[in-house]
């Protein structure tokens, strides 16, 4: 099979990292669909889309039946609420795991068989540096993202001979709409200075800046390529050197 012209689906594809990934895959010649819950946002993105709630198995199943053949799946949908660990509500815990971890479980069970049937596929999860380290006030999110890596590694081992690979990318703080809430909260504490708030979030990055969505997309594009056929069960960290600093 040629490396271009494959069918790809990106969840959380209406903005931020997901949209950057979708555009990169389309530029490489793939047929790309995006998915999410906000139809207005999906329409604005200008790509073919499915309405999918990744926390709803029935919604995932409906999309699986509709899309039919699939070669590349990017599990990008996520949310990052914050709370002190011992003040994290059960509702926040359950929802954070549902969006960030259980969704990857459900999507793998639904979409990976479509790739296995074709004898070629790339299942890529957008995880986080929070898959490898802790940040204050992100206990539920860190637990979920750590879980994503365990799930991806196990999928990779069990399906290593199918032609389908399972990997994750782990960005540090990335300049996306998802980060806007954190920036706004920090800015409110520092006199409304948005630039200062962004610098505070970027301080752990030795490069002194936020990661660009396009940098994450480039890593996903490589993992989705023929050249990455032997990369399986891996976590590609995109953080400017934060985790080794």
Residues marked active site are found at: 141
3-class secondary-structure state, position 25: helix
Report the distance separating Cα 35 and Cα 119, nearest Å.
Answer: 24
Q: Are strands 31-36 and 164-171 parallel, antiparallel or unpaired?
A: unpaired
The b/e string for 36-49 (b: 16+ C-beta within 10 A; e otherwise) is: bbeeebbeebebeb
Which of 177, 160, 194 lies closest to 45, judged by CA? 177
Cβ atoms 10, 28 nearer than 8 A:
no
The structure tokens 């795991």 sit at 97
Q: How far apart are CA 165 and CA 33, in angstroms?
A: 20
| Per-residue DSSP letter, 101 | I
How far is the C-alpha of 180 from the C-alpha of 37, rounded, in Å?
19
**Contact call for residues 33 and 191 (beta carbons, < 8 A):** no
């Amino acid at each position: 099979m040629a490396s271009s012209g494959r069918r790809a689906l990106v969840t959380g594809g209406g903005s931020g990292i997901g949209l950057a990934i979708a555009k990169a895959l389309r530029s490489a010649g793939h047929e790309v669909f995006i998915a999410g819950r906000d139809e207005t946002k999906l329409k604005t993105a200008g790509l073919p889309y499915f309405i999918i709630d990744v926390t709803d198995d029935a919604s995932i199943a409906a999309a699986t039946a509709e899309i039919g053949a699939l070669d590349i799946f990017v599990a990008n949908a996520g949310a990052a609420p914050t709370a002190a660990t011992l003040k994290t509500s059960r509702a926040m815990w359950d929802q954070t795991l549902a969006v960030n971890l259980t969704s990857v479980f459900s999507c793998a069970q639904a979409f990976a068989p479509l790739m296995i049937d074709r004898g070629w596929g790339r299942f890529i999860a957008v995880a986080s540096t929070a898959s490898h380290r802790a940040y204050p006030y992100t206990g539920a999110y860190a637990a979920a993202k750590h879980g994503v890596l365990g799930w991806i590694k196990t999928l990779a081992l069990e399906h290593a001979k199918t032609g389908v690979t399972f990997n994750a990318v782990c960005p540090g703080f990335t300049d996306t709409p998802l980060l806007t809430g954190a920036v706004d909260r920090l800015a409110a504490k520092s006199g409304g200075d948005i630039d200062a708030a962004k610098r505070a979030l970027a301080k752990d990055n030795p490069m002194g800046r936020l990661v660009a969505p396009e940098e994450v997309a480039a890593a996903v594009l490589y993992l989705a390529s023929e050249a990455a056929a032997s990369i399986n069960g891996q976590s590609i960290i995109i953080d400017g050197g934060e985790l080794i600093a």
